[in-house]
Amino acid sequence: MAEAQGPRVEGRLAENILYFARALRAAGIPVGSGSVLDALAALDVARVGDREDFYWTLHAVFVKRHEHSLLFDQAFRIFFRKRGYIEKLIASMLPEVATTEPKPPTPGAQRVQEALFGGLNERDDKSEVEVDARLTVSDREVLQKKDFAQMSAAEIAAAKHAIARLALPLDLLRTRRMAPSRRGHLIDIRRTLRASMKAGGALIDLKYLGPREKEPPIVALLDISGSMSQYTRLFLHFLHAVTDERKRVATFLFGTRLTNVTRAIQARDPDEALAACSAHVVDWSGGTRIASSLRAFNKQWSRRVLTQGAVVLLITDGLERDADDTLAFEMDRLHRSCRRLIWLNPLLRFAGFEARAKGVRTMLPYVDELRPIHNLESMTELVRALSGRPAKDYGPRAMLRQVA
Amino acid sequence: MTVKPLPASIEATLDLLAKAGYIADRSLATVLYLALKMGRPLFVEGEAGVGKTEIAKVLSATLGRRLIRLQCYEGLDISSAVYEWNYGAQMIAIRLAEAEGEGDKARIEHDVFSERFLIKRPLLQALEPDPAGPPVLLIDEIDRTDEAFEAFLLEVLADFQVTVPELGTVKAAQPPIVLVTSNRTREVHDALKRRCLYHWVGYPNAGRELKILRTKVPGIAKKLSEQVVAFVQALRKEDLFKQPGVAETLDWAGALTELDVVALDPATVSDTLGALLKYQDDIARLDGSKVKTLLDEVKSELRAAE
């Protein structure tokens, strides 16, 4: 029975691996065609004995990120779920079987492959349902996918215009690497010697090295809760422009939960990038949980993105519903683990803004700078905020003194 | 000197590691075997203290290969990673040539930029032939260096060659066994990962951790070792900023045996918690009563298992 329905795997290992790679790609693991060849080579040398070895051999080749392990596991289970399927594949790799002539594909094989892919799709649907089910539990989240196309034409034009005008300033960070420099303080012996060789070694013209400078990484934490909804699209456009310009920008969105959209925002086309971001996020325009979002960031990401002198842009109005010790604690930790923490607050647009809201007062002592960000013009201000010079007017301590 | 053969199967790889006291799981043995067999670099990622660096040390010891370690840091550059010229000796050579009346500039230049004056740093050393077989090259904590160095490594890891402008390209006759480790303090670029086989080293399960503990701390009492492992395993389920790694388990067990502890009690655990947890708020989270409840749970579980 199993024989009649089961696939004829003998001599068709390559094809099966190819289909499996395709399934992985469908599941979201970037698998190149080079990996397929690698997988075949690996299976060849590993002389796989059982299911576990088969699993880990393919895992070694196809998975390049820890996050993908889970996807691989699911795809593997579904793809190779038929009992005895792997055993047959393994058997087909044994030398004596491998010499059998390649057979023309049997009609049954195609059907099984379809079934396998059907299974994969089924699984995908199912996981989506799970997500939905989980979301309905939370009453505070507005399950609304903001469509960026809703942005009015004038708005888009204005935003694009503003963003086009933004030239990123030279915010440079000294690295510990050296580069040739006229005003350096270290002698570059390599270049000196080469230069003096030109003169036959008679003349020694000293060349110098100075510290190399480079842009620090930027980490943006953008509040996308309801109270911020008028601004988020604009900021996303801005962050896209920044990401385009610089190499090291990590972007996170948070409302009631934290979402990493760094990869999505890297798409070349701004509309495409923003659409990809909005597809990732489930809590647009909902409530805010700043403390728990920061906590998630500190725990999962701070050690991975806040290295090498990162600047953090925290874009939020600071209107936390339950501002308590956790918020202060997480802000403190965030502040301690980055080089500079800049808070961009659209509420600062009101001339008489005072740090009265409890959330704002809790967060203020921990930021290096507090700046307004409420219209297109203030985006230019934001650019200046990135330029490395701390501004006196926006010192958080002055703001706190005002209230006290 | 004969070259020790590479393990011939996944089992043999497991045995090889076990022989040197490294208790690996089968997934690691599989990927390691593949890396050795296919001559590909192995990219190992995982939290701090799960034994990533140890893999390279054990490989070098059991295979009798030379271990060349390149510790990455911010600001690592070619002159400390690949090669440097011996400038002092070069200057003297130039002066000597002049004193001897050598007037041919090209000749002097050729002599001065020869292998005699080259100081080889780890990456270049790893490409040299070795009578004991190709060396083990450990590129440790690659996430600490910057993207520019990563890009440079691409050439080394893909073709096992480096280019010295004055000398030409140096290519390894036999590729070294390369192990790259990362703590994931930053994402390493996909281009580099693509050239390697990838493996994530996780925390071991209770059974394996117990084996590791008994191998590494031989004098430990049976009961204490079981309690230590069960407690650490329970601790990893807690909401901590930094979970204790295997290295911490071993440190802690070592500390407890030094203190002649035979069984865990809440007071001892609280006093020695610094060996396990390295963040103040994690230690603060685990106050006396919390330690006691955790310990009671662990003990009752162990009793139930008996």
Please judge whether A59 and B34 are an interchain contact, meaning their C-beta atoms are less than 8 angstroms apart: no
Percent of chain A with pLDDT over 90: 2
Top-tier CATH class for B10-75+121-201:
alpha beta
Mean pLDDT comparison of A133-142, A235-244, A291-300, B193-202, highest-scoring range: B193-202
Q: Which of A157-171, A254-268, B100-114, B269-283 has the highest average model confidence (pLDDT)?
A: B269-283
Q: What are phi and psi of B139, to 5 degrees?
A: -100, 100
Residue of B nearest to A300 (CA): B241
The B residues from 201 to 240 touching A (CB cutoff 8 Å) are none
Domains of chain A, CATH where assigned = 2-137 (no CATH), 178-214 (no CATH), 218-403 (3.40.50.410)
Q: What ranges do the domains of chain B cover? A: 10-75+121-201, 83-120, 206-305
Q: Does B278 touch chain A (CB under 8 A)?
A: no
Mean residue pLDDT across chain A = 70
Per-residue pLDDT band for A403 (boundaries 50, 70, 90) equals low
Q: What are phi and psi of B236, to 5 degrees?
A: -65, -20
Specify the pLDDT at position A397: 63
By CB neighbour count within 10 A (0-12 exposed, 13-18 middle, 19+ buried), where does B288 fall?
exposed
Of B105, B143, B198, the CB nearest to A64: B198
Residue A6, min C-alpha distance to chain B (Å):
28
CA of A220, closest CA in chain B: separation in Å? 16
**CA B219 vs CA B91, B223, B231, B254, B262: distances in Å:** 58, 12, 19, 9, 11
Report the candidate in A389, A396, A145, A150 with the shortest Cα–Cα distance to residue A277.
Answer: A145
Taking each continuous run of H as one helix and of E as one strand, the counts in chain A are 18, 9
pLDDT at residue A395 is higher than 70: no
With a cut of 70, which residues of chain B have pLDDT below it?
1
Vertex B239: Cα angle to B233 and B245 (nearest 5):
40
> Do the Cβ atoms of A177 and B75 come within 8 Å?
yes
CA-to-CA dists, residue B119 to A350, B72, B138, angstroms: 64, 19, 19
**Crossing angle of the two packed helices A68-79 and A107-137, in degrees rounded to 10:** 140
Cα B139 to Cα B193: distance, rounded to the nearest angstrom:
13
Q: How far is B192 from chain A (nearest CA, A)?
A: 10
Q: Are B155 and B162 within 8 A, CB to CB?
A: yes
Percent of chain A with pLDDT over 70: 61
In chain A, which residues have their Cβ closer than 8 Å to the Cβ of B199?
A: 60
Give the distance from residue A257's alpha carbon to the nearest chain B alpha carbon, in angstroms: 17
| pLDDT value, residue A288 | 78
Q: Chain B interface, mutation test: which of A33, A65, A212, A333, most B Cβ atoms within 10 Å?
A: A65
φ, ψ of residue A253 to 5 degrees: the values are -110, 140
User: Which residues between 105 and 124 in chain B have a beta carbon less than 8 angstroms from any beta carbon of chain A?
Assistant: 105, 108-109, 112
Angstrom distance (rounded) from CA A390 to CA A369? 7
At residue A87 the predicted structure's pLDDT band, cuts being 50, 70 and 90, is low
Highest mean pLDDT among A115-119, A362-366, A397-401, B31-35: B31-35
Question: Does the beta-carbon distance from A30 to B241 stay under 8 Å?
Answer: no
What's residue B235's pLDDT?
A: 92
